[in-house]
Each structure stands twice: as structure tokens, then as C-alpha cells.
Amino acid sequence: MAPDESKNIELPGTPRRGFFRALGSLGAGLAAAVAGWKALGWRRAQAAEPPPVLAEPHGNLLVRMQRDLEATLARGTTPSWLMVVDTRKCIGCDACTVACQAENPTGPAGAFRRVIKLRFTPGARPVSIFKPSNCLQCDNPPCARAVPEGMIRKRPDGIVEFDYGRLRGPYARAAAAACPFQAIHIDDGKTFTQSTPAPQAYEERTFVENGAVYSRKPGANALADTARKCTFCSHLLDVGVLPACVTTCIGGVMYFGDANNPASLVNEITQGRRRFRGHDTAGVGSRVIYFAEPMPGASYMDCSVCHY
């Protein structure tokens, strides 16, 4: 997954005409945005009042999610992990991406997550939309269907896990190509500082991924030529710690918890909220839910404009 994806879109004229004219010039990269915008229903959405962002301080929500996680582990039952994303709260700071790379070392070839950044100018005032993006942990993963059985497995807790010993070379590339959400990258074994006068130790440290210990030290990198992606920081969940992106986000964009727990925050927060249904239409069974509610200050626009 490319670590950054940013586009500036100038939309001259009226918002509706300008929007489609600009999108028409962008090509396939934003083809899904057209469908999303049409589905939104311009006039109806323009008049809609966006529901308020939760007033509860982010710190309290983190404490709540941490307690939910500890309660799930204490019960000893198999969880059903779920991530919920409110893109209206994202400011595009990339703190989640940095935290992810610090927790799950990757090289220049890609990262486990990115923040898609779109800037629209429908009138005098520009509008920016940011979408944090990572593996959807699909219940029906297209990547698994592209390789021999067993190379990619669906864990009982919902996480899609790769067998790094087998998912290599052409199989790794087949899995990456099969993902319609560009959530998989091939580790090419390179580090950011290997060609500098002083390669940095943080790029060669050991870390845990999918239950095993690895290092990306050049010449001793067992992950080279493998397919890699977000794991919901499963190594942290196993010891009672929330994913790095969730605990780092200053806007409280992401919620995480056990969908099997009726009292969990992720179940409470999704009640009565409008969700993006594109992933349902794709038939993948996403474990990452995005709210599809109008942006504050631009009620004619929601996260569908950059979803795919």
C-alpha cells in the first residue's frame, strides 16, 4: 500500500457541474467517486444537517475501548474484531501512518495504512476529505481466492492472516493484485536508510508479526518478497493493547472493539448511523466500517467521493 495518496481537485462553476467535469479529467483513479457522488443525491444531501461529532472527549473513548478489550480477553471467548471509521473527524495529519510504521516496520515499497487526501473547490471555500485506509479484514477476501488454499487464512477473530513462509514471489504478487482496495504491498527488502552513511538501528530491530519474530535487516530479512498488510496489530491485541493507529489518532477517528460484545463501544457507536455500503456491494464482508455522513460545513459531500 502506497504510504500517501493526495489529489487537488479544482471544481470551477457550480458545485454539481464543476465536480463532474473535474472528476471526468482524473481518469480511472477516481472513477468510483462519480458513482459515490451520484448515490449521495446532491439536493437531498445539500439540505441535510450532519449529525454532531461525539461530544465525549477522545481520551474517555480510548479508556472505554481499552476496558472493552480487557473485558473481552478476560471472558476468554473468541472475539469478532471490528474497526469503525468516522472520516469527518480526520484532519489528515498522518499520525496513524507514522504510528503504524513504528509498530510494524515496513520499507519504501509500502505501508500497512495510508490516508487518502482529496481537496475539492466547489466554490469560494475549499473542502478537504481525508480517508484513513488499511486492510478491511474481509470475511470473503479476494486475495485468498487468488492463491492456493492455506496461504491466506481467516482467523476465528476475523483477522486475515498471511503465511509468510508460503505467500512469496508470484503468489505474493497475485494476492496483491487481487485486492481491489490496494491494501497489500510486496516487501522488497529495502530500508529507508540502507544507502545512507549511517543505516538506522530502528529499521533493523526485531518485531512480532502474525505470531513470529522478524527483522528487516538487509541480508537477513525473511520478509523480503512476501505480501504484507495490516493485521489490526494482532500482536498487541494478544497482550491487551489496542492497535497503534487507534491509540495515536488525535481526532478519535477510529473506534475498535469486539462486535460479539453487545455493550462494546463499536456496537454502540454504529447504532442508527449511516454506513458506507460500497464494500457490502462488493461482497467482501468488510470488518472496517466507514460512516457515510455529510461533512460539517459541506453537507452536499460525504466520504463516498473517495471510497473504493
Biggest CA–CA distance in the chain, Å, is 59
Global pTM?
A: 0.80
Asked if residues 254 and 244 have their Cβ atoms less than 8 Å apart, the reply is: no
Cα–Cα–Cα angle for 22, 26, 28, nearest 5°? Answer: 135
Other CB atoms within 10 Å distance of the CB of residue 111: 23
In this predicted model, what pLDDT tens digit does every residue of 264-289 receive, in sequence order? 999 998 887 777 766 777 789 999 99
CATH number, domain 4-305: 3.30.70.20
Q: Distance from CA of residue 247 to its chain's centroid? A: 14
Place of cell 533493523: 204
Query: Given a cut of 50, is residue 160 above it in pLDDT?
Result: yes
- Please tell me which residue, 224 or 22, carries the higher pLDDT value: 224
Rounded Cα–Cα distance for residues 242 and 27 (Å): 38
Segment 89-138, tens digit of pLDDT: 899 999 999 999 999 999 999 999 999 988 877 677 777 788 899 999 99
Q: Band of the pLDDT at 248, cuts 50, 70, 90?
A: very high
User: Letter for the amino acid at 57?
Assistant: P
Q: What is the per-residue pLDDT across 256-267, written as a single tens digit (0 to 9) for each?
A: 999 999 999 999
Distance between CA atoms of 110 and 122, rounded to whole angstroms?
A: 32
CA angle, 207 as apex, 201 and 209 as ends, to 5°? 145
Q: pLDDT tens digits for 170-179?
A: 999 999 999 9
| Per-residue pLDDT at 144 | 97
Angle (deg, nearest 10), helices 15-24 and 31-40: 160
Structural contact between residues 154 and 142, judged by C-beta atoms closer than 8 angstroms: no
If DSSP states are collapsed to H, E and C, what string results for the chain? Answer: CCCEEEEEEECCCCHHHHHHHHHHCCHHHHHHHHHHHHHHCHHHHHHCCCCCCCCCCHHHHHHHHHHHHHHHHHHCCCCCEEEEECHHHCCCCCHHHHHHHHHCCCCCCCCCEEEEEEEEECCCCCEEEEEEEECCCCCCCHHHHCCCCCCEEECCCCCEEECCCCCEHHHHHHHHHHCCCCCCEECCCCCCCCCCCCCCHHHCCEEEECCEEEECCCCCCCCCCEEECCCCCHHHHCCCCCCHHHHHCCCCCEEEEECCCCCCHHHHHCCCCCECCHHHHHCCCCCEEEECCCECCECCCCHHHCCC
- The domain spans of the chain are 4-305
- C-alpha distances in angstroms, 34 versus 23, 45, 64, 132, 147? 7, 15, 38, 20, 32
